[in-house]
Amino acid sequence: MTVTTLPAFIAAHPDAVLVEVAETKGSTPREAGTMMVVSATSLWGTIGGGHLEFMAIEHARKHLAGENVPDSLDVPLGPEIGQCCGGRTILSFRIIDQTVEEELRCRLQDERAAFPQVMIFGAGHVGLALARALVPLPLAVTLIDSRTSIDGTPPKGVTFRRVAMPEAEIAQAKPGAAIVILTHDHALDFLIAKEALTRADLAYVGMIGSKTKRATFASFLEREGANRASLDRLTLPIGGSTVKDKRPAVIAAMVAAELLGLLLGAQS
């Protein structure tokens, strides 16, 4: 499996077959709608691995070679193919022509539009590490910073915005979005968090810091005349307390897990 985008894969491998899980019965590795693309030499995506996927790749390449093979396979996932799921998977196979390519483009566009939104405030070492951790996941990630120079390069697939007043960007968050606050300035963190906590429709508001920072922020809310009860909706510290490690990549991994459990767990 490659990390390139599907459009880029198809552009590089114009002769390819779309393999899709058309139907499932019982326990199966992946759900209906899961797809992969097979060329003569490369793959994009996965339908669950194992012998099922090996059979699918072999069948798709027979299609590409012009052999007379069916457009679907009904595969029992039992000991005879070395898998023990116990269900059945029906696979469909289509040569990717212009019509199929356009269908895939629209499908990916619709899927991406439905991704939960994550807004990361602060493109420092932790913010960039979190963006890198989230970019392969089914999330729409925006990275926001006010500085003229940041601590690295935002990864491809993440929307980067440089703005003068990051706290004003909270108004652009979609209902159900997650807000992660990691800026270089505690005062700015507090302004962003104050705005975020006025939005009762956000799924997550998290800010990097300690118990001391939480207490300081509580005092800030009180001075600002804000509803101190909204502090109950603030996750601080972020990422949980299981691992005591402050390296950016570790914090990013823990926050990514926290966000996945919240944003994607609700869709299950």
Relative to beta strand 35-39, strand 16-25 is antiparallel
> Encoding tokens for residue 251?
């914090």
May I ask the CATH architecture of the domain 115-267?
3-Layer(aba) Sandwich (3.40)
User: What is d(CA 146, CA 185) in angstroms, rounded to the nearest whole number?
Assistant: 11
pLDDT (0 to 100) of residue 62 = 95
Contact assessment for residue 30 and residue 91, using Cβ atoms and an 8 Å cutoff: no
In this prediction, residue 234 has a pLDDT band, given cuts at 50, 70 and 90, of very high
* Nearby residues of 176 by Cβ (< 8 Å), 6 or more positions away: 116, 117, 201, 202, 203, 263
Residue bearing tokens 């909706």: 233
User: What is d(CA 15, CA 101) in angstroms, rounded to the nearest whole number?
Assistant: 11
In this prediction, residue 1 has a pLDDT band, given cuts at 50, 70 and 90, of very low
pLDDT (0 to 100) of residue 230 = 83
In this prediction, residue 85 has a pLDDT band, given cuts at 50, 70 and 90, of low
Q: What is the pLDDT of residues 134-188, one digit of tens each?
A: 999 999 999 999 999 888 899 988 999 999 999 999 999 999 999 999 999 999 9
Please compute the mean of the pLDDT values over residues 237-252 and round it to a whole number.
87
In this prediction, residue 224 has a pLDDT band, given cuts at 50, 70 and 90, of confident
Higher pLDDT, 25 or 123: 123
Compute φ and ψ for 17, nearest 5 degrees.
Answer: -120, 135
What is the CA angle 175-241-138, rounded to 5?
35
Listed by start position, the domains of the chain span 6-112, 115-267
pLDDT (0 to 100) of residue 2 = 39
Q: What percent of the chain has pLDDT over 70?
A: 94
pLDDT (0 to 100) of residue 207 = 94
Range with the poorest average pLDDT among 61-65, 67-71, 73-77:
73-77
pLDDT (0 to 100) of residue 101 = 93
